[in-house]
Structure 1
Amino acid sequence: MIDIENIVTEIAEEMRAHKDRGTVASYIPPLACVPDSKFGVAVVMADGTIHSAGDADEAFSIQSISKVFALTLALGAVGDQLWNRVGREPSGTPFNSIVQLETEHGIPRNPFINAGAIVLCDVLLGRHQPREAIGQMLRFVRTLSGDDAIAIDETVAGGEQDTGFRNRALANYMRAFGNIHAPVERVLGTYFHFCALAMSCRQLALAGRFLMDGGRVDGHSIVTASRARRINALMMSCGHYDNSGDFAFRVGLPGKSGVGGGILSVVPGVASIAVWSPGLNPSGNSQLGTLALERLVQRTGWSVFEPR
């Protein structure tokens, strides 16, 4: 019998004492103010029990983890037609790279790089105004987590708006290829607000349960089992940008990172996990968050590559 409570507590203590914590993102000013001493972890088991430690109940900017929820909503809106506008392959380039858009005619390599998530926002704006799309996202994550306290950090959204020059370049470039339909500033305003969602590890792990349980939460279907499996596959292959292969090698779970220092990871049929440590490695993924997940998998055998 695995003692998850003890393992989670031990890992949090180990991460607290770890010296090499990575570098906090500084290009979005509000993120630069977060102390790199923070660390939180929450594990929600299939039976609903929650194990948490550290700063698991402190809200942080989930940033690109929101792309998982945006992808789920976009697939709900247009189904597999989405793949005419966004690819499903690892990029092998940084999350905000513009290089591949030239040779690939404005089609982002996958929905988890910035360009891909900007297209997801454009898809959602095909049916909504920005305020409605943002409200839809908020309702979705609140429903998934069962917590109406989840909100958007307007300070972070403003910081994104003020510094998002490369994202504007990506959006305008795709618009030139005809892959962005709504006005660019509306699309980007939606994108920046999605990235500015503030959630705790506990809330985030609860929100990820549908990917752990075949698309269901508490017996209610959120997506089909097939769609949940495919979202997990994309998280495994593309969820950590040009570091996705290394994350699969070290951790062996579907996961999605954000430059706020969070990672949402899924053990299909077993657990939904969220970790947070704001210091990043050179690829923009949480340095201690990745290490914590690696140690969790080593002590539980939860890697999808482990025999069951």
Structure 2
Amino acid sequence: MTIELNRLLFDACESVRGELATGKVASYIPALARIDANKFGAAIVTVDGATATFGDARETFSIQSISKVFALTQALNRIGDGLWQRVQHEPSGNAFNSIVQLELERGIPRNPFINAGALVVSDVLLQGQSPQSCVAALMDFLHLVADDGSIAIDEEVAQSELDTAHRNASLASFMKSFNNLEHEVSDVLQVYCRHCAIAMSCEQIARSLLFLANQGVDPLTGARIVSEQRARRINSIMMLCGHYDASGSFAFRVGLPGKSGVGGGIVVVVPGVATIAVWSPRLNASGNSHTGAAALEAIARASGWNIL
């Protein structure tokens, strides 16, 4: 099984290596602009524990918006369906940091994966905690689901995020004017920017979201992370909203629920089978990894994995 999985992954990734020069790294966060644009890694972890890796699969990078999946999971575990009173679960059709739609909809973000929605989720996680203890709790959760206590925040990226968080500060202030943030904008930004600056490898990311491929239960430890219903809902939102305003295109090409980040990472869930994470820093116009998306399409085609 592992030999066949490694061969499938190798062949799929090698088939798109010619795409590596296409796209541009995220430059609006200075720490991300300095990344080696030619990095390329991928990992598959199955629900029965088999692992396949390719290229730079064990090198850590800034996961950025992939962290929103962990934050959403924690928020749902904390307040349940009450979350949907403050953030919707609909595709946005706009850029991830757009304020136009937020104004039209009176401070209620379209979904938890655009920046405004993730700021609301961060506000939920802050309830009864300081920013420091809130982030520490999120890291404890991540160490649990990844079964790896070494995962940490990249402090350089975190500071770079905070130094350039002007648009996010505007989004947060706008939502606070509609009473959709309970805490101080500065505290919400601290939580948001720090969880976006978590550094993980493809292998760690794939392992950490394995519970979403197994109805909310970590198949390797037996621990229930979320209810079966919440796991389905998280996967559904990933399918509809996980790739900014290109979510429909990604679903059409790859056919699996997933989440991308401007650090060049993408993770997808194959329900009942596996999770797959890829990393290639050059992004397309929608902020998703160009080569990463192409690799996932090749993997899906070669494996026959889909949500049907």
**TM-score, structure 2 normalization:** 0.97
Question: What SS is found at the alignment partner of 1:43?
Answer: strand
Q: 1:94 to 1:267 in 2, by over 3 A?
A: same
The equivalent residue for 1:82 is: 83
The equivalent residue for 1:294 is: 297
Conserved? CA contact 1:16–1:37, under 8 Å: no
Matched letter for residue 99 of structure 1: V
Question: What SS is found at the alignment partner of 2:15?
Answer: helix
Measure the CA separation in 1 of the matches of 2:53 and 2:117.
32
How much does 1:14 deviate? Answer: 3.2
How much does 1:243 deviate? Answer: 0.2
Measure the CA separation in 1 of the matches of 2:81 and 2:183.
20
Question: What SS is found at the alignment partner of 2:250?
Answer: helix
Instruction: Tell me, yes or no, if structure 1 residue 107 matches structure 2 residue 108.
Output: yes
Measure the CA separation in 1 of the matches of 2:253 and 2:111.
22
How much does 1:143 deviate? Answer: 0.9
The equivalent residue for 1:52 is: 53
Conserved? CA contact 1:264–1:275, under 8 Å: yes
Q: 1:251 aligns with which of 245, 249, 254?
A: 254
Measure the CA separation in 1 of the matches of 2:142 and 2:99.
29
How much does 1:15 deviate? Answer: 3.8
The equivalent residue for 2:38 is: 37
Instruction: Tell me, yes or no, if structure 1 residue 221 matches structure 2 residue 224.
Output: yes
Measure the CA separation in 1 of the matches of 2:89 and 2:217.
23
- Runs of 4+, deviation exceeding 4 Å: none
How much does 1:17 deviate? Answer: 3.9
Q: Unpaired runs of 5+ in structure 2?
A: none
How much does 1:128 deviate? Answer: 1.3
Measure the CA separation in 2 of the matches of 1:130 and 1:168.
16
How much does 1:145 deviate? Answer: 0.9
Conserved? CA contact 2:17–2:291, under 8 Å: no
Measure the CA separation in 2 of the matches of 1:232 and 1:214.
10
Question: What SS is found at the alignment partner of 1:295?
Answer: helix
Aligned length: 305
Where in structure 2 are the equivalents of 1:88-127 lying within 5 Å? 88-127=89-128
Q: Unpaired runs of 5+ in structure 1?
A: none
Conserved? CA contact 1:21–1:36, under 8 Å: no
Measure the CA separation in 2 of the matches of 1:54 and 1:130.
36
Where in structure 2 are the equivalents of 1:186-265 lying within 5 Å? 186-217=187-218, 218-265=221-268
Question: What SS is found at the alignment partner of 2:269?
Answer: strand
How much does 1:19 deviate? Answer: 4.7
Matched letter for residue 7 of structure 1: L
Matched letter for residue 82 of structure 2: Q
Query: C-alpha root-mean-square deviation of aligned residues, in Å?
Result: 1.2
Matched letter for residue 58 of structure 1: E
Matched letter for residue 166 of structure 1: R
Matched letter for residue 133 of structure 2: E
**TM-score, structure 1 normalization:** 0.97
How much does 1:18 deviate? Answer: 3.1
Matched letter for residue 288 of structure 1: T
Conserved? CA contact 2:19–2:290, under 8 Å: no
Q: Identity percentage over the alignment?
A: 55
Q: 3-12 or 24-33, which moves further after superposition? A: 3-12
Measure the CA separation in 2 of the matches of 1:235 and 1:20.
27
How much does 1:103 deviate? Answer: 1.3
